[in-house]
Structure 1
Amino acid sequence: MSKLVAFAAIQGGYQVVAQVEGELRNTLESMDASTKVEFPNTGYYLPIIYSLLGMKVETLEDLLKPMEFARKLLPPHIKGKHYLPYLGPLLDAGMAAIFAYEIKEALRIVKQPDFYFPEEDPDLENGKKWLGPADDVILRKRGVEFVDGTAPGFAAMVGAAPDPEIAKMIVEEYQKRNLYIFCAANHNGTTLIDQLIEMDVQIGWNTRIVPFGPDISSAVFALGFANRVAMAFGGVQPGDYKKILRYNKNRVFAFVNALGDIGTEWACAAAGCVNWGFPTLADTDI
């Protein structure tokens, strides 16, 4: 594994955790610690934290414990002379970033409760194109498709294609293979979803092109959905992180398709996905 990749991912993990720690601290200073925290209409709390750590986050104060866990998970920085394998530290840094990103998204929902439109399809006429985390109704309806083989897997697409025509071409190729396309993040302010809308491509759960959110942190909704599938349909208990991750690797087939330059924040997210057994394909040199 490239030392440069490991360095970028670990640096990204530190940056993301520090950023979210500051955001959580500021939120606790401005809002009551007992303020309710939740993803809308789900009994799985914050699903990644709940499924892997067994922690039930219900208030702002409850976020402190998983935040501390993420901080402790960060490995030492890669040095000039490093004689140990990079994979373990890379995976830890990635997982720390994923926990932090889920906390970041929870804080967004607390502070901007109308940012996401938690339905099956967006309301483009009213500017509601980002759906955010799927609720339990959508999970029951769509999650079973990953179990019975109706959906062979999903492509988590982050960033934006070089142009709208290429964006449409890539997505249509994935649709031909019955994949779900989970979209998040932007590249230089442009999102894949914006490009698809420009090309008059219909988006939403019903077309399997799901606009989760405009930032890389929104990619955690794809991982949270996968973990909820493991709990809801695989019978895996919350906190049994080994079985959760193994179930995803063996039953929920997925990959990340990164479109655009991969900086440290994307690198640590990609490293986090490796814990699930989800590799990353990119259209740029890494």
Structure 2
Amino acid sequence: MLNAMTVDVEDYFQVSAMEGAVSRSSWDTTPLRVEHNVARILELFAKHDIKATFFTLGWIAERCPDMVRSIVASGHELASHGWEHQRVTQQTPQEFRTDVQRTKGFLEDLTGVAVNGYRAPSYSIGAKNLWALDVLADSGYRYSSSIAPIHHDLYGMPDAPRFRFVASEGRLVEVPITTIRLAGRNINCGGGGWFRLFPYAFSRWALGQINERERQSGLFYFHPWEIDPDQPRPDGLPLKSRFRHYLNLGRMETRLIALLEDFRWGRMDETFFSAQERESWAISEAA
């Protein structure tokens, strides 16, 4: 069973947990660590012969164009993560439209490849803003991976389907973050802080259940800063945010390598879409 390996390309200071401690006005003067971390990830993927999908911020691509070109040159899929990690819940429909169209256009102009996928920062599409899926379809995206079917204090749509579903009157596919059903609720087993929180044995068991018992492809995500335990630690972070962001960073790369070796991995477009669907995308782009 092929699973989708994905990377949300952003730097450590751009995550939602840092909003109260690192102002956007300071981003341009904050040294970037993302290029070194992405280079390490590309090495790991090459060593294990894995192709993945990189959901990339436009803000990062504008400042690190060679890094983005190297992602594409290595055979990975390039997708959109929005321009500067602004949650969809903080945008009006018109602001969101401008954001996703700007990012898609910039990434495509930079690399010469079509950008078909989008992931909302902090999984910030849910029951109250499903209009965003229509905006994505209107803007030429083929799929989204922006809904987390879980209970969470910052995001989540626990009643959403757990696996790939069609949205926006058939114009868009949504691939939610992978969860496993335990004790009457959905538990995230698709990456992020949960992967660092739970013992690796749980993640391996859960993804195995998704593949073997439910006969579904899983989706895993992580961030370049998660393999960077030496990253700065800004003052002023609330205790909960500090715990979530820095928990077990020193163990992340070892766990990631085990995950790469224990399962089969591919790009989002190759995992969740048939060759015929991808061919129709190419025909549409050419037209």
Indicate whether the TM-score tops 0.5.
no
**Higher strand proportion (structure 1 or 2):** 2
* TM-score of the two chains, using structure 2 as the length reference: 0.28
TM-score (norm 1): 0.28
